[in-house]
Amino acid sequence: MNSSSPLRLGILGSGKGSNFQVLVEAARSKSCYYEPVMVLSDVADAGILKLADQFKIQSRFVEPGPFKTKLSEAIEQEMVAHLQAAQVDFVALAGFMRIVKEPLLKAFPGRILNIHPSLLPQFPGLAAWKQAHEAHVAETGCTVHLVDEGIDTGKILGQSRVPVFPEDTPEMVHARIQQAEHELYPRIVNQFSKDLIASKKYK
């Protein structure tokens, strides 16, 4: 472990939690500057909640409300309250399928990270691997970026490239991107944590 106490990481996710799993495994297997301490999900039976139980990390389902792609301000405030109660220093999105709005952005300014399955600014939005496949690009990849008010528009912190072959299906492209994500995300989250500790801007 590093000489400073690791920063406390909150994770938001809607799916099976594969990126959450690699973040936890990285934090527990080597010297690391972050420690996952809270998982919130907008999907009651999401795999990420089951994984959190297996890893003995505090987790909670948050009722998402009526909107398809975002949360109401009141529900986001509830999420902020859970994260602050867990004394979270920064937040990582791991397959969180809703747009993050002002309550979370204001509570954690410049301290919310996301991983997106394309080489941003190419192919923002949903199913980016399908977008890449349909565009017949020779390569795509994944991007870790800060979350801001836009859709996949925040400052880029790191990228990893993967090839796209003529015989690929969208599923094959997605699987190759996920492999790259599982290496990139823990590495960038750890570097971000280290830089935050050095800057003392996390409190």
Active-site positions? 116
Give one DSSP letter per residue of 4-39, joined into a string.
SPPEEEEEEESS--HHHHHHHHHHHHS--SEEEEEE
171 CB-near residues (< 8 Å, 6+ apart): none
**Distance between CA 167 and CA 126 in Å, rounded?**
23
Instruction: Please tell me the distance from the alpha carbon of residue 180 to that of residue 115, in angstroms, as a whole number.
Output: 11
